[in-house]
Amino acid sequence: MAVIGAAATVVAAVIGVLGSGDGDHATAASPPPTTAFPATPPFRSGSSNSTPLTPATTDSAEIRFQGRVRLTSGGLDLDHIPPDSSFEELRYETQPGPGLRVDPALAAALWRTSGAPTRKACAHALDTSPLSPDHRFDDPAPGTTFCLRTNRDRVAFVQVLQAVDEGLALQVIVWDGGPG
């Protein structure tokens, strides 16, 4: 019996040595990279049900900026590339509860059609169905979409992606020039 026990110990040791080599043997998988905004905390756990949209390609207007941005209590200025913290167009508010305020942008209009609009369609919505000045979206759900006219008279499309620490993750398209 002692011989069998000793043989088992030797076999276990040999398997342990072979298994720990750095040849072609599989090693523990490293965790996948995380998605985070530049210089901001990562998204809260839980995924949103909204998928970032891309504008229709039939638009002749030039896209000035397109991408994800983070709206915080510091606000957001969509006229800068990339958009930066300022009270120029949008503000994230925590009182009386979480909300997105469109102020002091020139105008905003809900976008109720699936898919992202062209600049011309967004401008038409702004001209025909504007929201009240200083509009506030109370606790905006992922997928909330609207058009916006910036302080510099640019047209923008905004989609709420999800809540993040002390703010909102947004998908934004800002156009320069074009019809509308």
Cis peptide bond upstream of 42, omega within 30: no
Per the confidence metrics, is the pTM higher than 0.85?
no
Whole-number pLDDT of residue 177: 74
Render pLDDT for 132-170 as a digit per residue (tens, 0 to 9).
Answer: 888 999 999 999 999 999 989 999 999 999 999 899 999
- Output the tens digit of pLDDT for each of the chain's 180 residues: 554 544 444 444 434 434 444 433 333 333 333 333 333 333 333 334 445 555 555 556 799 999 999 999 999 999 999 999 998 899 999 999 999 999 878 899 999 999 999 999 999 999 999 998 889 999 999 999 999 999 899 999 999 999 998 999 999 999 987 555
Contact, 141 vs 160, CB < 8 A? yes
Q: pLDDT at position 105, please?
A: 82
The CA–CA distances, whole Å, from 138 to 98, 106, 131 equal 6, 20, 14
* Count of all residues that appear for the chain in the document: 180
pLDDT recorded at residue 22: 40
In angstroms, the Cα distances linking 71 to 43, 50, 92, 177 are 12, 17, 6, 25
Biggest distance spanned by C-alpha atoms of the chain: 92
Q: Which two tokens stand for residue 172?
A: 């934004």
